[in-house]
Amino acid sequence: MPTLLPSLADVTVPPHVHVEIASSMDALMTEIGRRSMMGFAGEVFFGTAFLQGSRLQFTTAMPVAKMIQVSKTDRSKKKDGVVGAMEHSNRPQEASHAKHVREYLTTTACIGEKFILPAFTFNYGVGLDDESPDASLILFANANDGANAWPGILCLPPTAKLDTTDGAHRRGQIEAIINDSKISTEYKDALKRNAVDVKIVFESSRSDSHQDFADCGKAKAIAKSLITTFDVRDRRNNRSRELVSNIPFLSFYVDATASNVNLSSKSRKIWSMSAIRMFVSHIVDHHAQEDASVQEKTRAAEAFIEALVRHMPQLRLLDAARNMRDPEVTTGSLREKHGGDVALRGIGMAIFARAYLHCIENEMDFDVMAAKLADVDWNILDCEKDQLPTGEDFQAGVRQHAKPMWGHILVVGESKYRVSSSQADADGAWDKIKAQIFAEERQAA
C-alpha cells in the first residue's frame, strides 16, 4: 500500500494522525479485521475523508452517548484576558444560550419529537504531547485518481479525546441531561436514541482551531420574522402564522422574511411577522384570563383585524390596492406621508393589541373600536419630511412639527429620526389614544 496520496502532498497532517491508503474495499476491510485481531479497544467510525481549506478532515455520525464519550470541551473562564482565552478551545458558557439549548432538547429530543442539530466540529491535533495516542485514518483511494474526497474509517484509540471546536453548548447540555438525576430515564433514553453528525478537523495549530470557531459563527442569523414563520412548535409563532394565513389582507401585506420589526420605507408590505408576533404576545401576556391558552386568548383576533381593515382609511386604501381597485395607491406613499404613518409600522400592531384587549375586557364591539381608531390622525408630522429644516435646525424642526400624539415615540438624530417600537412607548401611545377617542364619553358621564 502506498503511504501517501498526491492530493495530500501539500497538506500538513498533525503528528498524531496516521494516514494509510487502502487501494480496494477488500483491503479496507482487511485493515479493520487486522485491528480487531490485534485487540484494538478503541472506536472505529466509517465516513468520508476530504480536503477543505488545505486541511484533511473527516465527517461521520455517531450516537449522542458515543459523541459525549469520545469528545471533550476546554472552556476559558469569564473575564479571562487574551492569553487565558487563547489557551483554551472554547468560549465560556453563556447561561442564556445553554438554557435555550436545554429547553429545546427537553421539549423535542427527550420526548420523541422531531428536531435537528447542526453538525459538531471537533479537532484532533491541538494540545497533544508525546504521550498522546495516534489516531489512524484509512482511506479507500486510488493513488492516481486525483480525488479530494475518499470513503474511509477513523480508528480512534480508547484514550483519545476529540476537542470541541464548535458545538460546546450543544454538547454540554446533552451531557448535562444524560447525567442529571432529576431527568427521567425515559427522557434520557429518548435523547440517546438519536445520533449526530460530526466533522473532525486534523489541525495542530490552536490559533487555526480558534479561527475555525470564529468562522463557524459567521453565518448570518436567521431573520426573526422567518423564525416566527417556520418555528411553529412555539405556540405564539404558530398562532401568528395562523392569523396571517386566515386573513387575506395580512397574507398579502405581511413580510415573512424581514430582519426587523419595521420594514423599509419602500417595502410593498406593511408589517413584518415579528410585528404580528408582537401583537399576539402582548395579548397573551396581558389577557385577563391568565390560565387560558394562546388560542383562547386570541380567538377573536381575525375578526378584530378585519374590522380595522374595514374602517381605518389607510388600510381600506391598501385593501383596494390589493384587489387592483386603486393601483395608484402604494404602501410606501402611505407609510411615509406626513412624516410616517404609525399604524403602518411595528408599533401600530403593538397599539392594536392594546385596543383588542380593551374590547375583550369591556365587551366592546370591534367595529365600534375600529371606527374610533379611524378618527385618530396616525401621521407623525404636520408636514412632509422634505419640508423639515436641515443642518443644525433639523432636531428642533422635527420637534416643532411632530404631532402631540406621537412626539414621545420619536428618536431624533442629527439628520434623521426613527419611530420607537418599545412596549413602554406603545403603552404611552395607547393612553393618549384612549384619552382622545373616549373623551366625549367621559364628558357625557
Look at residues 141, 136, 146 and name the one whose alpha carbon lies nearest to residue 18.
136
Q: Is the pLDDT of residue 82 over 70?
A: no
- Residue 67, CA distances (Å) to 62, 88, 105, 279 in order: 6, 20, 16, 42
Statement: residue 206 has pLDDT above 50? yes
Mean pLDDT of 418-423: 90
Contact 73, 172 (CB under 8 A): yes
Question: Which H or E run contains 285?
Answer: helix 273-286
**Sign of dihedral through CA atoms 33, 38, 44, 49?**
negative
Residue 231's pLDDT band (cuts 50, 70, 90): confident
pLDDT above 60: residue 3: no
Range name among 147-156, 192-201, 285-294, 435-444 with the lowest pLDDT average: 435-444
Mind listing the pLDDT tens digit for each residue in 246-271? 999 999 999 988 878 888 888 899 99
pLDDT tens-place string over residues 111-168:
999 999 999 999 999 888 888 888 999 998 876 767 899 999 999 988 899 999 999 9
Q: Rounded mean pLDDT of 159-180?
A: 93
Indicate the range of 77-81, 153-157, 340-344, 437-441 predicted with least confidence: 77-81
Task: Tell me what percent of the residues of the chain surpass a pLDDT of 90.
Answer: 62
Query: Of 239, 264, 267, nearest to 253 (Cα)?
Result: 267
| Nearest CA among 264, 342, 260, 254 for reference residue 305 | 254
pLDDT in tens, 330-388: 898 899 999 999 999 999 999 999 999 999 999 999 999 999 999 999 999 999 999 99
Between 46 and 33, residue with greater pLDDT:
46
Q: Answer yes or no: is pLDDT of 35 > 60.
A: yes
Lowest mean pLDDT among 75-84, 154-163, 293-302: 75-84
- Could you give the count of Cα atoms lying within 13 Å of 442 in the half-sphere of its Cβ? 6
Q: Which residues of 285-306 are buried (b: 16+ CB within 10 A; e: fewer)?
A: eebeeeeeebeebbeebeebbb
pLDDT at res. 214:
79
pLDDT confidence band for 6 (50 / 70 / 90): confident
Measured CA angle at 119 (ends 114, 122), to 5 deg: 145
Nearest residue to 315 via CA among 220, 398, 247: 247
pLDDT band at 38 (very low <50, low <70, confident <90, very high): low
Q: Mean pLDDT in the chain?
A: 89
pLDDT score of 202: 94
Q: What is the pLDDT of residue 79?
A: 65
Is the predicted pLDDT of residue 200 greater than 50, yes or no? yes
> What is the rounded CA–CA span in Å between residue 418 and residue 264?
11
Percent of the chain with pLDDT over 70: 93
Amino acid at 382: D
